[in-house]
Amino acid sequence: MEVDLSNSVKFIFVLKIIMEFHDGSLHRFVKFWIATTITLFLVLVLASQRWPPLDAMMPSPWRATKQNSRNSNEDAQSNFAGLAELLPMVATDDRTVIITSVNEAFARSGSLLGLFRESFFAGEKIDHFLNHLLVVAMDPMAYRHCRTVHRFCYLLPTTKTSMDLSSASDFMSDAYVALVWTKLELQQRVLQLGYSFLFTDVDILWFRDPFRHIGVHADMATSCDVFSGDADDLSSWPNTGFYYVKATNRTVEMLRRWRAARRRFPRNHEQTIFNNIKHELAGAGSDLRIRVQFLDTARFGGFCQLFRNDMARACTMHANCCIGMANKVSDLRDVLGQWRNYTVMAPAEKMKAKAAGRSFEWRVPAKCGTPDKRP
Ligand SMILES: *[C@@H]1O[C@H](CO)[C@@H](O)[C@H](O)[C@H]1NC(C)=O
Ligand SMILES: *[C@@H]1O[C@H](CO)[C@@H](O)[C@H](O)[C@H]1NC(C)=O
């Protein structure tokens, strides 16, 4: 029935055109035909040149995200092969993945990766997080080391590592700076694939569940080198060695702008550039308005602000403000020892100490050059 009806409508339409043609002169028909052809030709030419008028009329975050999704399709073929297949195996049921990265020097036996993994077993019921940890290896040897101790290892494609990163540990070397930006690219890819992530440097020990302290409102939660005392205050100095990002279109755009900002400043780490542009991304005047939560160094501690830390509250401890692999390993091993001594204390003993006003402070690291080392 429907087909018949539409056919008869078409028939009437064609009949009408024929009648008009008969009514009007041939001259008028030719003029109409030429005009139609020219219009069609113009439409085709414009369509073939990625003409952007619709995009340009959209508010900028959405516009950029649209462009981004086109790039992401291109990325999918050339970048980070195998990542999309790995993530569903590693992620939690709410699509969150914990990521760390290692080179050969970090991953070899007796080095940082072993210590890092050990802390999950020494911590308070957090070893299950290892099932959601993706270790990104920067070179084939790091990957081999990783595979001997951990289930989920991902070797960065060689297209991403043009330089030898296997021993990059000099903080400002070209190789090291290249590495941190590659990490950021991978993180953007993870978000584009729809996974939230918690990135943690491998020179961080874990003691307690960090997710308890990340607000549901936060697009991003970051640890700090220096914490101002207010979780919303952009004047804190973020340390992107430990930070969480929720997967949304806005955070994908944040990562894109962050990576793009690298060109506007002298050569530097992703963390410094983030600090430079944090107001553009999260300030009151920002179009993106990323909600950043700064994590208290009392819980997410580091050697930079050790005086704030208390084992009774600690979630993590970062060997920041520390130069040299051997120094890090040595002082972190000592931190893990202190933690073990703390955890074996009987609860009653802890209560008594707490009631007496004693806090469980970490010792000042022996080897790391902590700026707040008191005389
Ligand atoms: C995010 O972007 C994708 C791709 O552009 C789009 O399909 C999706 O609807 C967007 N989501 C939201 C919540 O706007
Ligand atoms: C742990 O406690 C033991 C016994 O009191 C002590 O000898 C050791 O030095 C402590 N370890 C650390 C790393 O503080």
Query: Which residue in 31, 79, 103, 334 sits closest to 189, CA to CA?
Result: 79
Q: Is 66 in the pocket of ligand 1 (CB under 6 A)?
A: yes
Instruction: Write out the two tokens for 166.
Output: 């296997």
The Å distance, Cα 61 to ligand 1 centre, comes to 11
**For residue range 140-159, what is the model confidence (pLDDT) as tens digits?**
999 999 999 999 999 998 76
The pLDDT confidence band at residue 77, using thresholds 50, 70 and 90, is very low
Mean residue pLDDT of the chain comes to 81
SS3 string, 131-157, reads HHEEEEECCHHHHHHHHHHCCCEEECC
For the Cβ of 341 lying below 6 angstroms from any atom of ligand 2, the answer is yes
Task: Answer yes or no: is the C-beta of 361 below 6 A from any ligand 2 atom.
Answer: no
| pTM score, whole prediction | 0.77
Say what the pLDDT of residue 59 is.
38
Q: Which residues pair with 96 in a beta bridge?
A: 196
- The ranges assigned to domains in the chain are 57-302, 303-355
Residue pLDDT, tens place only, 268-325: 889 999 999 999 999 999 999 999 999 999 999 998 877 777 898 999 999 988 888 9
Q: Which residue has the higher pLDDT, 71 or 205?
A: 205
Whether 217 shows a pLDDT value over 50: the answer reads: yes
Which of 191, 183, 186, 187 has the alpha carbon at shortest distance from 249?
191
Distance CA 191, CA 255 (A): 9
Q: How far is the CA of 128 from the centre of ligand 2 (A)?
A: 27
Which range among 129-133, 181-185, 350-354 shows the weakest confidence by mean pLDDT? 350-354
Indicate whether residue 63 lines ligand 1 (CB < 6 A): no
| Mean pLDDT of the region 65-77 | 47
Q: Is the CB of 338 under 6 A from ligand 2?
A: yes
Asked if residues 169 and 325 have their Cβ atoms less than 8 Å apart, the reply is yes
**Pocket of ligand 2 contains residue 337 by CB under 6 Å:** yes
State the pLDDT at residue 319.
Answer: 94
- Tell how far the Cα of 339 is from the centroid of ligand 2, in angstroms: 10
Domain 57-302 has CATH 3.90.550.10: yes
